């Protein structure tokens, strides 16, 4: 039976998001000091501290606190998620992948530091992410730390982000079915968002049923994130061009609006947001406000 989730109208989401992002930014700054060899640490810091919405770390902290954990228990994991997200962006931008010149409003890592350094900065961030969780997590049972590391590793490896990327690269120029597009999105984007929520709950001491309810929430939010990305790709480009048809409707890149039409893609996004929120009815509504608002934010974001 469907339950209605009663979220307090007094919750200040923008303030919440800003304070959590600030916390994460400070922790990231500390985690990657500017040290020798200077060039590699400059490149790592350049990409890691370049802004970004910090959605994955905030999801992780919110999930930890929803199950009753202390924020501090999940801060190293939150940093690791952002390190991995950043390294995936650095590698994705490389000439052998998407070949992008700009990221987060400034030159991509390889444009600024050269290709070799960008590859190594990505590699170093990936290694540091796992080291950081293992070495810096405090007051969490070691079995939980290991469980979370396994979750994170499987989300990014050849059954996670890497799987999504290789299938995406191999699909270039091909006409994709909705199922194939979903495979790419689930692996390239959703897996890390799922790991963020699930690892936060594990670090926070969540029980098995809580972790699995949050996994369902995260799967909806993960796909929602990418469907909205696809919609923004079309609508932003339309605005820029001052036309009704956007980039993806006139090129052959597979996106949800292109495969199902803009109207249906928007309906699909609304359904995913509703399904995500429904999963939160399992929890105490007084604690569920952050994840509730994060789902709404992801659904209605403009960048
Ligand atoms: C993870 C080992 C490993 C390798 C990387 C290159 C690659 C394999 C995967 C590509 C993954 C990728 C770039 C997916 C796109 C995800 C996405 C929607 C990025 C945009 O995220 P936002 O909007 O960006 O959260 P900000 O800048 O706000 O953080």
User: How far apart, in whole angstroms, are the C-alpha atoms of residue 177 and residue 256?
Assistant: 10
State the distance from the centre of ligand 1 to the C-alpha of 188, rounded, in angstroms: 7
Domain membership flag for residue 267:
yes
C-alpha span between 285 and 122 (Å, rounded) = 39
Six-digit token pair at 291? Answer: 């994840």
Could you list the pLDDT tens digit for every one of the 303 residues in the chain? 445 678 878 899 999 999 999 999 999 999 999 999 999 999 999 999 999 999 999 999 999 999 999 999 999 999 999 999 999 999 999 999 999 999 999 999 999 999 999 999 999 999 999 999 999 999 999 999 999 999 999 999 999 999 999 999 999 888 899 999 999 999 999 999 999 999 999 999 999 999 999 999 999 999 999 999 999 988 876 666 555 444 444 456 889 999 999 999 999 999 999 999 999 998 998 899 999 999 999 999 888
| CA distances (Å), origin 120, targets 41, 43, 186 | 10, 9, 26
User: Phi, psi (5° rounding) for residue 242?
Assistant: 65, 30
Q: What local confidence, expressed as pLDDT, does residue 1 receive?
A: 40
Q: Which atom of ligand 1 is nearest to the CA of 51?
A: 27
In a domain, 4, yes or no: no
Phi, psi of 140, deg, nearest 5 = -125, 135
Cβ atoms 246, 229 nearer than 8 A: no
Residues with Cβ < 8 Å from 169, sequence gap 6 or more? 97
Which residue, 11, 121, 138, is CA-closest to 69? 138
Does 1 fall in a domain? Answer: no
Question: Quick one: pLDDT at residue 253?
Answer: 80
Short-list 130, 125, 147, CA closest to 208: 147
Q: Is residue 132 within 6 Å of ligand 1 at its C-beta?
A: no
* Contact call for residues 153 and 199 (beta carbons, < 8 A): no
pLDDT tens digits for range 280-302 = 998 998 899 999 999 999 999 88
User: Considering the domain boundaries, does residue 2 fall inside one?
Assistant: no
Q: Copy the structure tokens of residue 103.
A: 């990221």
- Residue 286 inside a domain? The answer is yes
CB of 195 sitting under 6 A from ligand 1:
no
Query: How many Å is the Cα radius of gyration of the chain?
Result: 19
- Decide if 21 is inside a domain: yes
CA atoms in the 13 A half-sphere facing the CB of 60:
29
- CA 260 – CA 273 distance, rounded (Å): 18
ipTM of the complex, rounded to two decimals: 0.99
> Residue 279's pLDDT is what?
95
The tokens for 279 are 């999963």
Q: Give how far Cα 161 sits from Cα of 25, 70, 186, Å.
A: 23, 29, 9
Regarding the beta carbon of 86 and ligand 1, being less than 6 Å apart is answered: no
Among the listed residues 214, 206, 226, the one whose alpha carbon sits nearest the alpha carbon of residue 299: 226
**Cα→Cα distances 77→66, 127, 252, Å:** 16, 13, 38
pLDDT at position 238, please?
63
Q: What pLDDT is stored for residue 235 in this prediction?
A: 87
Q: What is the pLDDT of residue 242?
A: 52
CA-88 nearest atom, ligand 1? 5
Alpha-carbon distance 204 to 66, whole Å? 8
pLDDT at residue number 244: 45
Q: Which of 225, 251, 246, 244 is nearest to 234 (CA)?
A: 246
Is the CB–ligand 1 distance for residue 106 below 6 Å? no
| CATH number of domain containing 231 | 1.10.600.10
> Domain total for the chain?
1
Assess if residue 6 is contained within a domain. Answer: no
190 lines ligand 1 (CB under 6 A): no
Question: What's the pLDDT at 5?
Answer: 76
217 occurs within a structural domain: yes
Q: Give the pLDDT score at 292.
A: 97
Instruction: Tell whether ligand 1 has an atom less than 6 A from the beta carbon of residue 188.
Output: yes
Q: What range does the domain containing 22 cover?
A: 13-300
């Amino acid at each position: 039976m469907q339950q209605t989730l009663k979220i307090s109208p007094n919750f200040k989401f923008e303030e919440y998001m800003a304070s959590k992002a600030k916390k994460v930014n400070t922790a990231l700054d500390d985690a990657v000091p500017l040290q020798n060899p200077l060039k590699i640490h400059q490149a790592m810091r350049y990409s890691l501290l370049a802004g970004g919405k910090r959605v994955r770390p905030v999801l992780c902290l919110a999930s930890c606190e929803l199950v009753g954990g202390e924020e501090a228990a999940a801060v190293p994991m939150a940093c690791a998620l952002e390190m991995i997200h950043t390294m995936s962006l650095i590698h994705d931008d490389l000439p052998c992948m998407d070949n992008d010149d700009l990221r987060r409003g400034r030159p991509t890592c390889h444009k600024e530091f050269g290709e070799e350094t960008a590859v190594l900065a990505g590699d170093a961030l990936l290694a540091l992410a796992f080291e950081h969780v293992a070495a810096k997590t405090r007051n969490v049972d070691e079995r939980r730390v290991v469980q979370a590391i396994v979750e994170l590793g499987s989300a990014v490896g050849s059954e996670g982000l890497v799987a999504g990327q290789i299938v995406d690269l191999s699909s270039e120029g091909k006409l994709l079915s909705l199922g194939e597009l979903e495979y790419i999105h689930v692996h390239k984007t959703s897996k890390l968002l799922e790991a963020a929520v699930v690892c936060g709950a594990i670090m926070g001491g969540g029980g098995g049923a809580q972790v699995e309810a949050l996994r369902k929430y995260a799967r909806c939010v993960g796909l929602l994130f990418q469907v909205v990305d696809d919609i923004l790709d079309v609508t932003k480009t339309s605005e820029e061009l001052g036309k009704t048809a956007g980039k993806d409707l006139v090129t052959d890149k597979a996106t949800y609006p292109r495969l199902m039409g803009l109207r249906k893609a928007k309906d699909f996004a609304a359904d995913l947001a509703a399904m995500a929120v429904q999963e939160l009815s399992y929890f105490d509504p007084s604690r569920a406000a952050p994840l509730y608002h994060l789902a709404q934010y992801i659904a209605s974001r403009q960048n």
